[in-house]
């Protein structure tokens, strides 16, 4: 199977939106594809007391995939803060073994698994007196390559540059950059596209206008971003450089 990690320069830059469009294109082209997000916070509590995993629901609705919401995300929180803090507040700490098992199951069932990060690459998933690990640890343990989503506007060069530099320091492959809320002809946006490529050496593979209904790249290009999963990924929390 093949896998790809969707990361963002920050929260609310459009990772879930892009993930939905990616899954939509894969699904429409007959690919057996799934979505995974280790933890989601800021979700709505329904009348029956359960939590609706909003990001997963958006991706499922946008893409048309039949995967169940329960299989998409093992940890769902109501509090709209970083997952590690939401877990502490709600008394439901993220267990590494649980997210590993959930991910392994998807990898054994689907041909393409798209993983969405929670916030930026260094977002902590758990940090307490017992253990500590971040989104980066999961990426490293699964040997995931990344696609970076960034806002097209002011400030993005620093965010993109810092994220790309960190990925490079950890030998995490960065396959491409997507600029969201892009306005063609906007001097700042056009220059940001050019400078992102110069600063990182990584191509901007797509520029999405606000509300785009489709990902403006070919299925061949999209599939080429995914990498084969190694047969024996790290089963525990990796050691950083």
Assigned token pair, 106 = 């998807």
Q: Binding site annotation covers 59? A: no
Specify the number of domains making up the chain.
Answer: 1
Evaluate whether residue 233 is within a structural domain: no
Q: Binding site annotation covers 60? A: no
What percent of the chain stands above pLDDT 90?
93
Helix (H, G, I), strand (E, B) or coil at 190: helix
pLDDT for 70-108, tens place per residue? 999 999 999 999 999 999 999 999 999 999 999 999 999
Look at residues 1, 219, 238, 240 and name the one whose alpha carbon lies nearest to residue 115.
Answer: 1
Catalytic choice (2, 37, 60, 193): 37
Going from the C-alpha of 127 to that of each of 86, 115, 137, 190, 205, the distances in angstroms are: 11, 21, 12, 39, 35
Evaluate whether residue 49 is within a structural domain: yes
Q: Binding site annotation covers 31? A: no
Evaluate whether residue 219 is within a structural domain: yes
Q: For the domain that residue 135 is a member of, what is the CATH number?
A: 3.40.50.300
* CB under 8 A, 24+ apart: contacts of 68-71: 71/34, 71/102, 71/105, 71/106
Positions of the chain with pLDDT under 50: none
Assigned token pair, 217 = 């790249």
Evaluate whether residue 51 is within a structural domain: yes
Evaluate whether residue 235 is within a structural domain: no
- The beta strands (E) that lie in 88-173 are given as 112-116, 124-127, 132-134, 146-151
Q: Which domain holds residue 178?
A: 2-228
Evaluate whether residue 155 is within a structural domain: yes
37 is catalytic: yes
Evaluate whether residue 236 is within a structural domain: no
pLDDT for 177-201, tens place per residue? 999 999 999 999 999 999 999 999 9
Q: Binding site annotation covers 155? A: no
Evaluate whether residue 134 is within a structural domain: yes
């Amino acid at each position: 199977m093949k896998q790809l990690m969707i990361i963002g320069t920050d929260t609310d830059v459009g990772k879930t939106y892009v993930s939905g469009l990616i899954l939509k294109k894969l699904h429409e082209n007959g690919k057996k594809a799934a979505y995974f997000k280790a933890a989601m916070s800021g979700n709505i509590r329904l009348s029956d007391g359960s939590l609706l995993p909003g990001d997963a629901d958006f991706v499922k609705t946008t893409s048309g995939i039949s995967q169940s919401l329960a299989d998409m995300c093992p940890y769902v929180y109501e509090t709209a803060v970083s997952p590690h803090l939401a877990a502490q507040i709600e008394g439901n700490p993220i267990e590494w073994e649980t997210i590993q098992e959930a991910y392994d199951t998807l990898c054994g069932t689907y041909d393409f698994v798209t993983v969405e990060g929670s916030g930026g690459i260094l977002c902590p998933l758990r940090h307490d007196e017992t253990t500590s690990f971040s989104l980066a640890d999961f990426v490293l343990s699964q040997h995931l390559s990344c696609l970076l989503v960034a806002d097209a506007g002011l400030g993005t060069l620093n965010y993109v540059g810092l994220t790309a530099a960190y990925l490079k320091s950890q030998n995490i492959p960065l396959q491409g950059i997507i600029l969201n809320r892009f306005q063609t002809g906007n001097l700042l946006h056009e220059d940001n596209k050019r400078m992102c490529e110069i600063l990182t050496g990584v191509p901007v593979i797509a520029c999405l206008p606000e509300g785009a209904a489709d990902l403006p790249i070919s299925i061949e290009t999209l599939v080429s971003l995914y990498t084969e999963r190694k047969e024996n990924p790290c089963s525990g929390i990796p050691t950083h450089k």
